[in-house]
Structure 1
Amino acid sequence: MIKHAISLVSLLAVTACGTAQGSAETQELRYQGSVGAVTFPELAEDLGYLAPVKLKWIGNTTSGPQDIQAAATGQTDFGGAFNGAVVKLIAAKAPIKAVISFYGSDKDVNQGFYVPDDSPIREPRDLIGKKVGMNTLGAHAEAVLKEYLTRGGLTPAQIQQVEPVVVPPVNLEQGLRQGQLDVAVLSGVLRDKAVERGGIRPLFNDVDLFGDFSAGTYVLTERFIERNPGTARKFVEATAKAIHWAQTHDRAEVVARFRQIIAKRARNEDTKTVGYWKSGGVAGTGGVIAPEEFQRWIDWLERAGDIEPGQVKAADVYTNADNPFAEEGTR
């Protein structure tokens, strides 16, 4: 998906949102949301941290790679995705910078790879020739799958025989139970409900491989940061405070706030999903980015041949400069 966007990025990056040199900075941030969920920037605005800057919702994203492509091409002012997808887009010369972590994996929230109870699949080698359902390619789930296979001793040729299949998240459980998929990547409320129904078991999850870690970041274009330094700083500061608020408040209080936000924005959404919220999974205090959260995927992409050795350096991909919790680092 990202490769297809390279030419679009090169053609449209110059149109990335920003104000003309010397004029007032924009006080409006266009973004994509998620159905039945509340993003940390939305929480920041509701808590009053973002003022006087306001958010302008333009629709809902279909995936992380799509969301950061929209930011890179100026359709939105910020977007968020898996860090490996951010690295790939930067390798494709997209002028973006990761500014704050916004999701991750821990004991409460993670991406699990599930099989039916009676499945013969027990280890990495058993996945050769099998279909693994996931929400999108080139992102978190595919990277974790290939890391699992690599650690299991499979050769690149054998890994190519494991087939990632794109399936809408709401259809993953059904595809697994009907035998259309051998493995399904489940997370959040969809995973919780599937496990409650029984008949499936976990093969592994991303925390098994990496421990607790932040997995995705919000990005801004370098052009936007240059033309709107104050607004960019406000966005990062406010989002960091919102993440910290969620990290330090009782789960029930966070869920109640999310429900209020969904009700107020009046997008004809169901608030049941946020009732399953357990954690944002963000490892760093206030979303502070740790170097290894990019270096891990840079190394993996180099080994996979997706980027050239030394083509992308972690220090050039992200910045914690505007995060007020930067001195505290990661938890």
Structure 2
Amino acid sequence: MIKIKHALSVLSVLIVVTALAACGSAEATGNAEVTELRYQGSAGFVTFPELAQELGYLPGVKLTWVGDTTSGPQDIQSAATGQTDFGGAFNGAIIKLKAAKSPIKAVIGYYGSDEKSFSGYYVTENSPIRTARDLIGKKIGVNTLGAHHEAVIKEYLKREGLTPEEIKQVELVVVPPVNTEQAVRQGQVEVGTLGGILKDKALERGGLRPLFTDVGLFGPFTAGSVVLREDFIAKNPTTVKTFVAGFAKAVEWTQTHSKEEVVAKFKEIIAKRGRNEDAAAVQYWKSSGVAGKGGVIADREFQTWIDWLQREGEIQPGQVKLADLFTNEFNPHANGSA
């Protein structure tokens, strides 16, 4: 579930474009609340809203799939500009979008890392790289820049004592996830970022070992959240409450049911929606990775990345505040009423 791409290449445009978002679905129906939510999916995978809809957790709310997202930042940009009604991304990408004055707010966590589902940073078994200092002058393959993996890598390097100048000498190279394993084995990069099914298949073939993992660095944590536009929240409070509550119940369902039950339900949903997809990847599903029960967002899941972005000079101290970034108001698990 970890999917993110060049978060800020169009942010200068977003400030203008989001001002035009008033022509989106929220105003199209006058005073009546919007009950049909447009969203982007992911080929061969089932999102929590899709699971919630299948389980009957979204009474009175209809989901309309408009296509598949290419990345987390693209997904939340689409929501911010009114092309869709909700989208999800790495929390650091949300912070950067918010710092650019985009009127979005996170309402629920949707992916993360735990002992079953995590991202690792792998080298070949015979690699001389054993420590962070060994990475100076080396290349690390990541799926995109300015997102989850870059943040984790730089936090690892900092914690291991590298100076800012030394960290700059560690080169991050964009490699499509499907090509990462091959790039490491052929020496095109010294370290590769692997997660999910790609990690599992690579480890099955042997010959790789982890240098470090994100869960080893941070412990279990929710890494990404789903956002809505602030004007959408204000104009559609009942719909938002139903949507987030149903989303939370779907997260909890995966947290309290066996892998076999979850995989079976995912395969059923993929077959039923008829998008000509390969459902083979879902059999590798292990856990939601979401740390908070029902996707409740913890302060540290945003504060960690605020601190990192300030240290990197990408945002200024005080430029964004936790209260402006997310709310657990609509999540029934936040007050124990679920």
TM range (shorter): over 0.9
Within 1, Cα distance between the matches of 2:215 and 2:111? 13
* Alignment correspondent of 2:257: 249
Deviation, structure 1 residue 152? 1.2
Of 235, 239, 245, 2:247 maps to 239
Matched pairs, number: 329
CA offset digits 1:263-316 (Å, max 9, x no partner): 011111111100010101101010000111111111111111111011111122
2:9 to 4, 17, 33: 4
Corresponding residue SS for 2:309: helix
CA contact (8 A) 1:15 1:73 kept: yes
One-letter amino acid matched to 1:10: I
Superposition deviation, residue 133 in structure 1: 1.0
- Paired residues of 1:8 and 1:73 also in contact (CA < 8 A): no
- CA–CA separation in structure 1 for the residues paired with 2:233 and 2:158: 38
Normalised by the size of structure 2, how large is the TM-score?
0.94
Superposed, 1:181-220 pairs within 5 Å as 181-220=189-228
Identical columns (%): 64
Aligned partner (choices 47, 62, 70) of residue 54 of structure 1: 62
Counterpart CA distance in 1 for 2:220 and 2:94 is: 20
Question: SS state of the match for residue 201, structure 1?
Answer: strand
Corresponding residue to 1:33 among 41, 49, 54: 41
Aligned-residue offset at 1:14: 2.5
How far the C-alpha of 1:327 sits from its partner, in A, is 1.9
Further displaced range: 224-233 or 19-28: 19-28
Correspondence for 1:323 among 301, 306, 331: 331
Could you tell me which runs of 5 or more consecutive residues in structure 2 were left unpaired when the two chains were aligned: 1-5
Alignment deviations for residues 116-147 of structure 1 (CA, whole Å, 9 cap, x no partner) = 11111111111111111111111111100000
| 1:287 aligned residue | 295
Secondary structure of 1:267's match?
coil
Contact 2:42 2:68 in 1 (8 A): yes
Tell me the CA shift for residue 20 of structure 1.
5.3
What amino acid sits opposite 2:53 in the alignment? E
Letter in 2 for 1:259: K
SS in 1 for 2:10: helix
State whether structure 2 residue 113 is matched by structure 1 residue 105. yes
Alignment-derived partner of residue 19 in structure 2: 14
Q: Structure 2 CA distance, aligned partners of 1:165 and 1:72?
A: 28
Q: What's the offset of the Cα at 1:7?
A: 2.3
Distance in 2 (CA, whole Å) between partners of 1:177 and 1:62 is 26
1:147 match: secondary structure: helix
Q: Would you say the 8 A contact 2:33–2:235 is kept in 1?
A: yes
Once the two structures are TM-superposed, the CA of residue 22 in structure 1 deviates from its matched residue by 4.9
Residue pair 2:12, 2:100 contacting (<8 A) in 1 also: no
Q: CA deviation at 1:21?
A: 8.3
Which position in structure 2 is the counterpart of 1:128?
Answer: 136
Does the CA contact (< 8 Å) of 1:176 and 1:184 recur in 2? yes
Instruction: Quote how far apart the aligned CAs of 1:8 are.
Output: 2.2
Please give the alpha-carbon distance, in whole angstroms, between the structure 2 residues aligned to 1:2 and 1:37: 22
In the other structure, the counterpart of 2:156 is 148
